[in-house]
Chains A and B, each alone.
Chain A
Amino acid sequence: MELSICKIHYIISHIPPLEGNDGKSEYEMWSGSGLPSNEEHDKKKLSKAQKAEDKVWKAEKQTNTVLSPASIAKKMKLKFTKAWISFLRLPIPVNVYKEVLATLHQAVIPHLSNPIILCDFLTKSYDIGGVVSVMALSSLFILMTQHGLEYPNFYEKLYALLSPSIFMAKHRAKFFQLLDSCLKSPLLPAYLAAAFAKKLSRLSICVPPSGELVIIALIHNLLRRHPSINCLVHKEDGDENEEDKNDSGSEKRPGFDHFNSEESNPIKSNAMRSSLWEIDTLRHHYCPPVSRFVLSLENDLTVRSKTTEMDIKDFSSGSYATIFGDEIRRRVKQVPLAFYKATPTSLFPESDFCGWTLKYEGSNEIKEQKTVEEDDASTKRQRIEC
């Protein structure tokens, strides 16, 4: 069953990307539709047959292009579309599903006769959440921007997609670019932009350095596009006092973060009353590029003429490898050495380690030394066991 689906996918995705305008078909999938297996089998056969037809068609077309290329192309497109749609109706296994989503926007949508057909499939995949949504986003974005698809809760879904896992995901580069272009419009309401900015900054305390760079760039762009949310990074004392009186007179904790990161609805997240303290924390980040890059937010981004947007592309494909590579490629100009009054004589000196936890230090150090002494006794025995 799965095997056959895989095969179908293989075939269908290897239909050559078409001479001229021959489109690839779309695949719509209603994975939840739960067709009975018999039908599926039938459909598979059907689709296989269709594919075979397709190929025949193509062969014919190649021979007969001279006759009526336009009409043939049209027919081809229709056939192709049909094939993909019927393919997408099948319950596709997860790995194939991801593959389909990854190639959809490049290989298929441009060649479809009516790309809007895909919207059901895509919205459903988008609603699944997690990596699948991220992957569906790129195709959905094309539909929305180029084919006039309206998606009511798009931003809420997008907001829900922001989670730490996307900063390690494979397709993160594409996602961040899309995220940036989705948030490009200056017509977005301030609460939405603020929610995105705050959510991103909240994420910044648990992502790798490459992710931090992207987050800073995204927030930079958001702040620049929406001068109204600059209160997130700069709030005068006067305003703050007023707000204090208004909202948290009882609490009397000006530093309290009103932002609710678990709220999935950006309106209710209360981001406008918060402040991007996390960004301030990043100034102390151990990775020099990050802590330096944070400073770019200190420019007054409300003055649009003096600032430029950051290109997310420059950061979106970053990883540990790129940052590490940059560091290791730096020229060695000077090598300062650690200074000790007395050169330490052991690898894990007690004096150094006792500062933080005596017990744990014991766990490492004292025992380590013990092992050396008891090396022959206890540890060896254990080793022999192993």
Chain B
Amino acid sequence: MAKQSTPGAKTKKKSNKKHHKKSDPDAISMKLKSQKPNPFETIWSRRKFDILGKKRKGEERRIGLARSLAIQKRKKTLLKEYEQSTKSSVFVDKRIGEQNDDMGEFEKGILRSQRERQLKLGKRSKFNLSDGEEDEFDAPDFGSLPERDDFEDEMLSDDDNYADEKRSTVLKHLNSHSAKDPLEGDLIEGEENKHKSKKEIMEEVILKSKFFKAQKARDKEENEQLMDELDKSFSSLVQSQALLSLTEPGKMNALKALVNKSIPDEHVKKEELAVTQKAVTNNQPDSYDKLVHEMVLDMRARPSDRTKTPEEIAQEERERLERLEEERQKRMLATDYSSDEDGENAEKDYAQRPRAISGDDLGDSFALDDEPGNKKGWVDEILERKDAIDSEDDEEDDSEDLGSAEDTDEDEESEEEEEDDENESEKTLSLKDWEQSDDDNVGTDLEEDEETDEHDEAIGDEDVDKKSRNKTNKTELKKCVESVDAKKPKASGKHTSTKLDIPFIIEAPKNLEELSSLLENRSNDDVIVIINRIRASNAIKLAAENRKKMQVFYGVLLQYFAVLANKKPLNFELSNKLVKPIMEMSTEIPFFSAICARERILRTRVQFCEALKNHENGCWPTLKTLFLLRLWSMIFPCSDYRHVVTTPALLLMCEYLMRCPIMSGRDIAIGSFLCSMILMFMKQSRKFCPEAIMFLRSLLMAATEHKLASEQDSQFYHFMELKALRPLLCIHDGVDEINPLNFLMVMEMSDDSLFFRSDNFRASALLTVIETLQGFIEIYDGLNSFPEIFLPIATLLVEVSEQKHMPKALKDKFNNVSQLIKKKADETHTLRRPLQLRKQKPAPIKLLNPKFEENFVKGRDYDPDRERAERRKLQKLIKREAKGAARELRKDNYFLYEAKQRDRELVEKERAANYGRAIAFLQEQEHAFKSGQLGKGSKKRRR
């Protein structure tokens, strides 16, 4: 009964809705409920406990329903086909909606009537007079349609009075429908439910959002109110004494001001804090609080002197120098006006003076003492002038560098500074700009350098003048120098008697002229002192702009170093002493120094290529190049795999060895010296340099008398045919003594010097060759192809040593080295194995650790190989589908079998009935015959 009633209620509601078009959530929920499965169609097991999170199987399966659905479906399809299978013609039902399972009888009816009406309303029927019935069909209310169904026409009216009645009729009507086809009815209802619920949901959402907005606004209001209250209470609090006792008076004022300004919002927190504090202080302060208050009132400990940063040390150094300089100036002024005694004092000062810059200017004061004090005052004069201004500036401003620079040579210096600034800014920009700007710098430097190379005979005042004249753009400088020159005699006249001093504060020179004028006629030690002072007074750590200055100065210094190497007479001691400051400066500005070096290497190579083309003068490197190469090999690490400076430098050196023709003994000397430099390069990294080996080998060949018949050697003559190798090193006469070759001396001799033809030279050259070779042998003994490299040389060595006039010592040396080679080659032969370049990496042992999956979910595929997992999933699906299909087929067969069985039974029954009838007839006949009523039968037959 209950079951009967529920669908009734449902339909009632539905019709309700149809009438009033009213959205009623209850109704929706009811309808949703209606989708609940029929409990009679589900199977279920009684559960004793509800287990949380456990999925129960088969709860919602509706086996009966599914089975009946399947059977019905088969009835519609399979059975039909089966019935049709023996027929040759088919009956096609073209009635509207007959094929459509979704439609209920009712809707079908509507559609059909619509169709009928449309046909009637067609053109033909336009002018037909309509019946009353049809007019009523036009009534707009579709909801009333069912009411006009076949019967009950007379009861039609839209009055509400009749609503109940109508409803009941509709109910009945629908009930009949649902009774007929409950499934279809359900479906329709479901559709309608969905439709309505969407609208409903939207409305609900809107409602909710409105509600939330309102709530927010209310909250905000409440907050504001609360804040206002707080403000009020706080302002009252400020007036009270409690807070005053808590906070410092300064802060209190600030607070009050704040309150007065009435900008409380930002300080809500603070105030709140204060409030809480007040609460605390209202209580009796305990000992802890007291302690805290005391601690607050305590003086803070001041930090002790910390260790100085490098900047500060540099600053102090500079200050100290400044102080000293001031004193010196005072003394100097005094000597100007008075007598020599002050000078003596100055000397004493010097002696007492603590050592100026660093450890390496040890004893410079003694050197000064020895120094003859002539002709150098003018430099001091200039520098003094600068320094005087410097010191003035010092008083005014701390940035002396700028000030002094501006003051001394206004125009020129400012120009320079502009450049500097540009460079400064560029420096920050990017690496590339950096390089370019530096290139420019170096370029100019190099130009200057070249010029100086031209006049490297004597760098005197005239020279300076010349060079400055060469510079068209720097006329200002020229003037300056001229003025310097003009001053010179005066100054020197003045200071002949005074002691020569070195200023303590020296501006970094901006170009070579400045530096050379500064360093001119100084002793070596003085030069170093000057350079160190320049470095100290312009230390990079002192000021940012000093970096630029030091960079310029570095370039200038490098240039000076290069010029020095080309100067004659060579001041080798000074070159040596310059090494240290240059290296130290390079550590300060590594980037710049690298770029300087690269530019110079590039330039040297360009020059070298040009020289190669010309051929008339030797293209072997000059002493300057050699010195610079050596310097860079000291500044930069040679053992790096690839280094921005040393790699190009090495390439350049090797190219020298490979491409320069050997024309004279001088070339041999330079070449072998290059070889030894390369040896120094390679010593640490033990890198292989074929060029050096080949060069040494060709030198050895040059030591043999005749062109050798040996196949390989003749190949080398091919190789060396570029070099026009002659037996330059062949010793013709006995040599009394073998001295090591003096390289610097060799460099200073010209090509055609007689010395190079002397056997002494040859012997010593051979000595250097063999020593260098030995060095190479030692560093290359680890190479795999050691025998291939050195064994030919060993035979060559033996050959050379067996020559007629070979001195005994050399002979021994040669034999020793060849023995060494043979020994090491033998070692290599026994030790080395054929190459195994293609080593397979050992396969790692498979790990058997159990792998744990966090948050493991049963049934999920954790296969890391996505493809495989996907494939497995698909295979599973296929299997399932196949099973399903087989099951379907089985059921189909079963269904068909049943249908056939039914048919057969039917036939059987019919036949049995027929048979029974026939038997009954026969029995009746028999009976009649036996009972003697034959006549009757015959009578009948007759009839």
CB within 8 Å of B: which residues of A? 130, 163-165, 168, 202, 204-209, 212, 230-237, 240, 252-257, 261-262, 275-282, 284-288, 291, 297-300, 320-321, 323-324, 327-328, 330-333, 335-340, 343-348, 352-353, 355-357, 359-360, 362-364, 366-372, 375-376, 378-380, 382-383, 385-386
Known: A286-B687, A345-B360, A356-B775. A379 touches B569 (CB 8 A): yes
User: Do residues A328 and B637 form an inter-chain contact, with CB atoms below 8 A?
Assistant: no
Known: A262-B712, A328-B648. A382 touches B748 (CB 8 A): yes
Contact check: which of A168, A230, A233, A362 meets B740 at CB < 8 Å?
A: A362
Closest 7 CB pairs of A and B: A363-B740, A255-B832, A357-B771, A367-B742, A356-B775, A165-B718, A360-B771
Known: A352-B680, A363-B768. A328 touches B598 (CB 8 A): yes
User: Do residues B745 and A364 form an inter-chain contact, with CB atoms below 8 A?
Assistant: no
Query: How close is B744's CB to chain A, nearest CB, in angstroms?
Result: 5
B826: chain A residues at CB < 8 Å are 253
User: Do residues A202 and B788 form an inter-chain contact, with CB atoms below 8 A?
Assistant: yes
User: Do residues B635 and A324 form an inter-chain contact, with CB atoms below 8 A?
Assistant: no
A378: chain B residues at CB < 8 Å are 745
Known: A165-B721, A286-B689, A324-B652. A277 touches B771 (CB 8 A): no
Query: How close is B838's CB to chain A, nearest CB, in angstroms?
Result: 4
Chain A residue nearest to B738 in the complex (CB): A359
B595: chain A residues at CB < 8 Å are 332
Known: A345-B576, A357-B774, A371-B742. A328 touches B601 (CB 8 A): yes
User: Do residues B835 and A205 form an inter-chain contact, with CB atoms below 8 A?
Assistant: no
Chain A residue nearest to B831 in the complex (CB): A255
User: Do residues B575 and A347 form an inter-chain contact, with CB atoms below 8 A?
Assistant: yes
A256: chain B residues at CB < 8 Å are 829
User: Do residues B719 and A168 form an inter-chain contact, with CB atoms below 8 A?
Assistant: yes
* Docked CA distance A231–B838 (Å): 10
Docked complex: B544-585 residues within 8 A CB-CB of A = 568-573, 575-577, 579-580, 583-584
Chain A residue nearest to B741 in the complex (CB): A363
Docked complex: B708-738 residues within 8 A CB-CB of A = 711-712, 715-716, 718-719, 721-722
A235: chain B residues at CB < 8 Å are 833-836
Contact check: which of B570, B642, B686, B753 meets A284 at CB < 8 Å?
A: B686
- The 14 sampled A-B contact pairs (Cβ below 8 Å) are A164-B715, A204-B690, A208-B658, A208-B690, A208-B691, A230-B838, A280-B837, A286-B682, A286-B689, A328-B601, A362-B740, A363-B743, A363-B767, A367-B745
Chain A residue nearest to B772 in the complex (CB): A360
A130: chain B residues at CB < 8 Å are 718
* Docked CA distance A343–B360 (Å): 11
Known: A163-B715, A206-B719. A254 touches B838 (CB 8 A): no
B431: chain A residues at CB < 8 Å are 331-333
- Does B816 reach chain A (CB closer than 8 Å)? no
B830: chain A residues at CB < 8 Å are 252-255
- Does B631 reach chain A (CB closer than 8 Å)? yes
User: Do residues B711 and A278 form an inter-chain contact, with CB atoms below 8 A?
Assistant: no
B654: chain A residues at CB < 8 Å are 208-209, 286, 320
- Chain A CB count within 10 A is highest, among B640, B654, B753, for B654
- Does B787 reach chain A (CB closer than 8 Å)? yes
B575: chain A residues at CB < 8 Å are 347
* Docked CA distance A202–B719 (Å): 15
User: Do residues A327 and B787 form an inter-chain contact, with CB atoms below 8 A?
Assistant: no
- Does B912 reach chain A (CB closer than 8 Å)? no
* Docked CA distance A363–B765 (Å): 10
Contact check: which of B631, B688, B718, B772 meets A281 at CB < 8 Å?
A: B688
User: Do residues A288 and B750 form an inter-chain contact, with CB atoms below 8 A?
Assistant: no
B681: chain A residues at CB < 8 Å are 286
* Docked CA distance A367–B746 (Å): 11
The proximity string for B residues 647-680 relative to A, scoring 1 for CB distances below 8 Å and 0 otherwise, is 1101110110011000000000000010010011
User: Do residues A320 and B659 form an inter-chain contact, with CB atoms below 8 A?
Assistant: yes
User: Do residues B651 and A320 form an inter-chain contact, with CB atoms below 8 A?
Assistant: yes
B580: chain A residues at CB < 8 Å are 343-345
User: Do residues B712 and A261 form an inter-chain contact, with CB atoms below 8 A?
Assistant: yes
A298: chain B residues at CB < 8 Å are 837-838
Query: How close is A233's CB to chain B, nearest CB, in angstroms?
Result: 5
User: Do residues B590 and A335 form an inter-chain contact, with CB atoms below 8 A?
Assistant: yes
- Does B784 reach chain A (CB closer than 8 Å)? yes
User: Do residues A254 and B636 form an inter-chain contact, with CB atoms below 8 A?
Assistant: no
A330: chain B residues at CB < 8 Å are 644
Docked complex: B620-655 residues within 8 A CB-CB of A = 627, 630-631, 634-638, 640-645, 647-648, 650-652, 654-655
* Docked CA distance A261–B791 (Å): 13
B716: chain A residues at CB < 8 Å are 164
B291: chain A residues at CB < 8 Å are none
- Does B607 reach chain A (CB closer than 8 Å)? no
User: Do residues A324 and B605 form an inter-chain contact, with CB atoms below 8 A?
Assistant: yes
Known: A209-B651, A321-B609. A284 touches B688 (CB 8 A): yes
Contact check: which of A164, A324, A382 meets B719 at CB < 8 Å?
A: A164
* Docked CA distance A321–B648 (Å): 11
A338: chain B residues at CB < 8 Å are 634-638
B837: chain A residues at CB < 8 Å are 233-234, 280, 297-298
- Chain B CB count within 10 A is highest, among A277, A346, A353, for A277
Chain B residue nearest to A256 in the complex (CB): B829
User: Do residues B767 and A359 form an inter-chain contact, with CB atoms below 8 A?
Assistant: yes
Known: A372-B571, A379-B569. A356 touches B829 (CB 8 A): no
A286: chain B residues at CB < 8 Å are 647, 650, 654, 681-682, 685, 687-689
A204: chain B residues at CB < 8 Å are 690
Query: How close is A115's CB to chain B, nearest CB, in angstroms?
Result: 30
Besides A232-B835, A320-B651, 13 more A-B contacts (Cβ < 8 Å) are: A163-B718, A233-B835, A253-B829, A255-B828, A255-B830, A262-B711, A286-B682, A335-B591, A338-B638, A353-B680, A356-B772, A379-B745, A383-B749
Known: A321-B609, A360-B768, A368-B744. A332 touches B598 (CB 8 A): yes
- Does B602 reach chain A (CB closer than 8 Å)? yes
* Docked CA distance A256–B834 (Å): 9
- Chain A CB count within 10 A is highest, among B586, B688, B836, for B688
- Does B426 reach chain A (CB closer than 8 Å)? no
User: Do residues B838 and A234 form an inter-chain contact, with CB atoms below 8 A?
Assistant: yes
B655: chain A residues at CB < 8 Å are 208, 320, 324
User: Do residues B835 and A367 form an inter-chain contact, with CB atoms below 8 A?
Assistant: no
Contact check: which of A281, A299, A364, A371 meets B676 at CB < 8 Å?
A: A364
User: Do residues B719 and A254 form an inter-chain contact, with CB atoms below 8 A?
Assistant: no
Known: A281-B789, A363-B768, A367-B742. A336 touches B651 (CB 8 A): no
User: Do residues A279 and B570 form an inter-chain contact, with CB atoms below 8 A?
Assistant: no
Chain A residue nearest to B774 in the complex (CB): A357
User: Do residues B643 and A206 form an inter-chain contact, with CB atoms below 8 A?
Assistant: no
- Does B683 reach chain A (CB closer than 8 Å)? yes
B748: chain A residues at CB < 8 Å are 379, 382-383, 386
User: Do residues B673 and A205 form an inter-chain contact, with CB atoms below 8 A?
Assistant: no
The proximity string for B residues 835-857 relative to A, scoring 1 for CB distances below 8 Å and 0 otherwise, is 11110000000000000000000
User: Do residues B579 and A344 form an inter-chain contact, with CB atoms below 8 A?
Assistant: yes
User: Do residues A382 and B745 form an inter-chain contact, with CB atoms below 8 A?
Assistant: yes
User: Do residues B772 and A357 form an inter-chain contact, with CB atoms below 8 A?
Assistant: yes
* Docked CA distance A204–B788 (Å): 11
User: Do residues B590 and A205 form an inter-chain contact, with CB atoms below 8 A?
Assistant: no
User: Do residues B602 and A328 form an inter-chain contact, with CB atoms below 8 A?
Assistant: yes
* Docked CA distance A379–B743 (Å): 11
Query: How close is B327's CB to chain A, nearest CB, in angstroms?
Result: 31
Known: A338-B636, A372-B573. A205 touches B690 (CB 8 A): yes
User: Do residues B693 and A206 form an inter-chain contact, with CB atoms below 8 A?
Assistant: yes
Known: A320-B659, A327-B651, A345-B577. A236 touches B785 (CB 8 A): no
The proximity string for B residues 740-779 relative to A, scoring 1 for CB distances below 8 Å and 0 otherwise, is 1111110011100101000000001001100110110010
Chain A residue nearest to B649 in the complex (CB): A327
- Does B16 reach chain A (CB closer than 8 Å)? no
Contact check: which of B641, B673, B679, B740 meets A367 at CB < 8 Å?
A: B740
A332: chain B residues at CB < 8 Å are 431, 435, 591, 594-595, 598, 644
* Docked CA distance A209–B650 (Å): 12
